[in-house]
A = this chain, B = another copy of it.
Amino acid sequence: MSFELETYLAEKRRIVDRALDLALPLPQDLTRNVVEAMRYSLFAGGKRLRPILCLAGAEAVGAAPESALPAAVALEMIHTYSLIHDDLPAMDNDDLRRGQATSHKVYGEALAVLAGDGLLTEGLGFLAGAAVKGDLDPNLALAALSIIAGAAGPGGMVGGQAVDIESEGQDVGLDVVEFIHERKTGALIAASVTSGAILGRGSKTRIAALEDYGRRIGLAFQIVDDILDMEGDTISLGKEAGADQARGKATFPKAAGLDRAREKAQRLVEEAVKSLENFDAQADPLRAIADYLLTRKK
């Protein structure tokens, strides 16, 4: 394939990082600390997978990637909020994330809760604000907002995390693991691609195909994450390896074995790429990202 994924990812990452930086300036008043905490986690070296999928979703339906930039910003803020809250002592109690100390380790628990709250609020507010400023079509912005909030709320990420926490130390079946993964990770990844396609004025058929793609790579991404947690080492992962096992987390390889987990991830990625069969070369980034998710080492 002539498509250069590394170059593509690096370029898009720069666009996203710049937009995030502009979206959340450091204030000069007493609220500086909480915004600093928000920025600390936002710029802690994330892969920017969700915002890049959002831009690539717009591109896949023939639009300029930048037409989806406000949704990309919202998605990364919302993803980062979820990491901060997941890492809290009352949740997964993680000290390390992306190779750096987690928010509550640096800023204390209260400010970490608030930094997460702030990122969630700013994320959704930024998208609405972009439409108010005239940068987005109001109806498309509302559709994107609604899909992103649905994927982040109790029917998505919040619900998945709740069931994940409740399932710790329990011997749950594959159906529950899939239920968790689809909500905790899959929903926001699918919303990333579809919100991009919505802002790119994609047709209903194309948006539906991209949702299929998103749900499949979302689940594959989480299964690969579980495998890496089981096989990886702390330094290359940037977070504590084996942490899921230590906590008795419901994971795919634990419920189905490593071999079946690998097969499942492989099959999901193949199906995801197949969902794009009616798309032309403009969907090459999405195709390449699907393959990359399967072979990544962290």
Contacts and interface: CB of A to CB of B under 8 A. Distances in A.
Given A120-B120, A143-B132, A154 B38 contact: yes
B142 A122 contact: no
A193 to B, nearest CB: 19
A145 interface: yes
Nearest to A149: B125
Nearest to A176: B30
Nearest to A145: B128
A149 B162 contact: no
A33 interface: yes
A38, A116, A159: which has the most chain B beta carbons within 10 Å? A159
Interface in A140-156: 141-143, 145-146, 149-150, 152-155
A132 B109 CA distance: 37
A122 B117 CA distance: 13
Contacts of A91: 110, 113
A109 B104 CA distance: 15
16 contacts: A27-B155, A30-B176, A30-B179, A81-B117, A85-B113, A113-B113, A118-B154, A118-B159, A120-B121, A125-B145, A125-B149, A125-B150, A128-B128, A128-B146, A129-B150, A145-B145
The 9 A-B pairs with the shortest beta carbon distances in the complex, nearest first, are: A125-B149, A31-B159, A90-B109, A34-B162, A138-B138, A121-B153, A128-B145, A118-B158, A118-B154
Given A31-B183, A121-B152, A125-B152, 12 more contacts: A29-B179, A30-B163, A31-B159, A31-B160, A90-B108, A111-B162, A114-B165, A117-B117, A128-B128, A128-B145, A132-B142, A132-B143
